[in-house]
Structure 1
């Protein structure tokens, strides 16, 4: 029986990289969820010079470099600081991750709240490393399916509300400053009521305090960014959230994009351009089946994965209707929600799970890749 995957309880950063199967993983948090054209090109140079030449876009809208070594990490950090891709203060990474709703515009409440929260970041409680905050204050919330422990959203009535993960409704607030004040207060309640032991808000069983009533419904959810033309520019997808530096460099160089916004949906918004880059290695059509597929890095990139995931994901491209999740281990990092089909790696083989998560009970276990493909084909034919 294989050992259970290790839950490390913290997220990698730039100043605190994480050892993985292919070296150190260095994560970059784009300020306000965007990078300038020059910063994107600098990040490509950094990944190529100091890492393996791969850049990943995470489900929390962070960018990460793979294959960094103990020797290449110090000059990498100097390079990232020089290009203002990370703060020169390591303590800056101790603040909770902020995830902004993509496609915000100048003057929107979303960036205003983010700046207010950044300015008061030292007032937030010291919370577990995986705790995150979503700022989703556009006309319609779009980050409901993205992991966050606390959210500032637009309410059904058009105002702002603050909502804790696990609750369908939140607390109405009068303005952006009141929203930040309420959120800071909630973080201290979380810690004081035992949230550190729970690790995440969704696992925290303490009842919310009286001053945080759950009586205000968020606005109806909006749609994720579709690929192609957008009012702000062009949207492109990254297959399974990964891109080679030469692909990203060429894509940005081909367009007039001045700013690139990141999203938690494996998509980039190239602002201020009106043509899609003619570059292979990107997803440009909303009908691409890979948009409904989630695959973690897998072996050999992750030390906890016992199977390669991305090659199998490419083989399944277009095979299965509905959502597909391929996980290198039972942690299911790439997707926490159930999928129509899930393949979980265990001891170098695959478990097949229907309508479940990576840690759900399989219908078939211990299969080779070819055996798993045969089972999937038979299941598809029987429907």
Structure 2
């Protein structure tokens, strides 16, 4: 039996997971940014050691799919050479830090994320899916992205720390943000949060020093594909891109300095947008009105051993008939989307449970549906 066949963990580069199409190796680019050289090297590595497919996750991570067991160590060596993973497996496992995408060198988001990254060794042992969001721009942008402990901008303009699941946060003074985050993580473990798994499911009252009384500022508008202040924002269908297509575009468009990964299946090419030519719409989503931008679907069966149903072909058939957000999940874990969706389909024992305004695995409005019944429900038959 393969040493990688383990269910229930959150994979990273040092601890990959065996999926239906081979090993899944997750890369957490520092500050969510991959330079031009790193991007080309990553694409070469995905083609040489995997099946040539790269996923962008809801945590702004990259996943190299279909890695062969004998290729895992050479892939790790390449990722180390590229500076995309930490040589310390423990630090790499803790580097679950999501940052506001428009950070600039020296601003609050950059400052706090860098300090937190330097103090990963001070964190307690946390459940694998627990992470941090450093959302310290002028307006929060990560409120719907998965994270357990957040630094955000308040309505007053000050910074607050907020525990996920709480609508209010507590002010933090400049320079103390990382100390407070580490203290909150320590409290989470000490108060039994490990058994809950995630902050949003942990019902223990917050400590007095983290009393929640300050609301965050309203969230910024949703990121759209097209021209962006940093360059050009391109959509990735279901968060997936062929390494060959990404490498071809970056290699051709010499103006691209780096790629910023977002939690919304959109990648931003850092460049003067006027110098870029839009890529082939077969590989990227370039139309901001594309309905595919409003659907989340994991790889499903058979690529994921925990998925019991097909996901993406069904999602594509349904998308034109759904008003709002659609989430099709191969199982109750809901890896493609942590937040509720307007319409959610969850695979269970080879059939689908249908729920509205819910997360994957929520109690269904209709249970045990087959594909024909789902298509008929939404007039897509």
TM-score by length of 2: 0.92
Q: CA deviation at 1:254?
A: 3.0
Output aligned runs, 1:301-320, within 5 Å: 301-320=303-322
Output aligned runs, 1:1-383, within 5 Å: 8-175=7-174, 177-255=175-253, 256-274=255-273, 275-279=276-280, 280-377=282-379
User: 2:217 & 2:355 partners in 1: Cα distance?
Assistant: 34
Q: CA RMSD in A?
A: 1.9
Is contact 1:195–1:201 with CA below 8 Å preserved after alignment?
Answer: yes
User: 1:204 & 1:101 partners in 2: Cα distance?
Assistant: 25
Write out per-residue CA displacement over residues 179-233 of structure 1, whole angstroms, 9 at most, x where no aligned residue. Answer: 1111111111111111222221111122111111212221221123221111110
Is contact 1:96–1:131 with CA below 8 Å preserved after alignment?
Answer: no
Q: CA deviation at 1:8?
A: 4.8
Q: How many residues align?
A: 372
Which runs of no fewer than 5 residues in structure 2 stay unpaired?
1-5
Q: CA deviation at 1:330?
A: 2.5
Is contact 1:114–1:135 with CA below 8 Å preserved after alignment?
Answer: yes
Write out per-residue CA displacement over residues 233-262 of structure 1, whole angstroms, 9 at most, x where no aligned residue. Answer: 010010111111122112222321101111
Write out per-residue CA displacement over residues 38-88 of structure 1, whole angstroms, 9 at most, x where no aligned residue. Answer: 111111111111011110000000000111121111111111111112122
User: 2:373 & 2:207 partners in 1: Cα distance?
Assistant: 52
Write out per-residue CA displacement over residues 66-114 of structure 1, whole angstroms, 9 at most, x where no aligned residue. Answer: 1112111111111111111212222222324100010212221101111
User: 1:44 & 1:52 partners in 2: Cα distance?
Assistant: 11
Is contact 1:328–1:345 with CA below 8 Å preserved after alignment?
Answer: yes
The change in CA–CA distance for 1:198 and 1:349 in structure 2 (over 3 A counts) is closer
The change in CA–CA distance for 1:229 and 1:208 in structure 2 (over 3 A counts) is same
Runs of 4+ in 1 over 6 A off after TM superposition: none
Is contact 1:239–1:282 with CA below 8 Å preserved after alignment?
Answer: yes
User: 2:331 & 2:93 partners in 1: Cα distance?
Assistant: 28
The change in CA–CA distance for 1:370 and 1:273 in structure 2 (over 3 A counts) is farther
User: 1:208 & 1:96 partners in 2: Cα distance?
Assistant: 24
